[in-house]
Amino acid sequence: MKVLVTGGSGFIGRALLERLSNEGGCTLHAAVRRPVSQPVSRVRYVQVADHGPNTVWTNAVSETDVLVHAAARVHVMNDVAADPLAEFRRANVDATLNLGRQAVLAGIRRFVFLSSIKVNGDGTPLGQPYRADDRPAPTDPYGVSKLEAENGLRELMRGTETRLVVIRPVLVYGPAVKANFLTMMRWVHRGVPLPFANIRNKRSFVALDNLVDLIVACCVRGAALDQTFLAADGEDLSTTEILKRIAAAMNQRLMLFPAPIEVMRGVMSLLGKGDLARRLFGSLQVDISKARGVLGWNPPVSVDDALRDTARHFLGTVRR
């Protein structure tokens, strides 16, 4: 089986290639924008200068059985683009559909698309998780672009030999994680006193190894075809709890104190940090029962084990 992974040098793409390379049994190709300094063994890299609406993928998709599309313009807080939706549409819709059309023409049998939980929305009432077959309700340009890409791919592949599988991950963490999760780890490592002692929200996360395991299942199991799955660890944590678990993984003392949540939310909004406030104080839960039931899949790595791996890598970088 030949597998092509776009975004092969990225956080998720590289981890997927390492997993498939270690297991063997596949011919692995990876599409990347620039040369890879530390290539994964047994992977043939195909340099594609621009993963855009007019990119020619002929050489990359030739004789491919499974395509995992992990390349994207990802969600960023405080986006400074003049027209964020137009930028997201170019990268996440137009470019994806261009790839999808060429995948269909090449006769690729399975197209696994990494979408985002942002397609479902930006938050849930406590105890009311998103489910895979809920009606989508994106609230920002990134989520809109991912939904448009999903719908466009379904339309493109309807009645063809190419079958679509969609995976919507929540926030992904693991070794070399960046963005908000890295920020929290830095807070804990520096011993910064944090006003988050009494936050009772619930948020779903997904360890990189768990997401990769689900992607692999979606690459090989027949039951995955034409389905949409949500990806998470199966254990939801409050902001207070995740900080405590990170501290335990680092063997680091954590200093938390209580503060009025609405006051903190208001101050952060005034400072232009409203998106971060929603993540720190709001809930976003997902139900992974569809993946369990349809695929027989369960997250193989516990939250604490995944956090220890993440912390070990982080501490190795800060001590250099």
Which positions are annotated as active-site residues?
142
CA-nearest of 239, 237, 267, 264 to 254 is 239
CB pairs under 8 A, 24+ apart, for 272-276? 272/78, 273/77, 275/77, 275/78, 276/77, 276/180
Nearest of 11, 140, 150 to residue 77 by alpha carbon: 140
Residue 9 · residue 32 · CB < 8 Å = yes
The structure tokens listed for 242 are 């995740």
Do the beta carbons of residue 74 and residue 142 sit within 8 Å? yes
Count of positions (residues) in the chain: 320
Place of tokens 């999808």: 100
> Per the structure block, which two tokens stand in for 76?
């960023």
Q: How many other C-beta atoms can be found within 10 angstroms of the C-beta atom of residue 83? A: 11
For residue 27, the SS3 value is strand
Could you write out the DSSP letters of every residue in 145-179? HHHHHHHHHHHHHTTSS-EEEEEEE-EEESTT--H
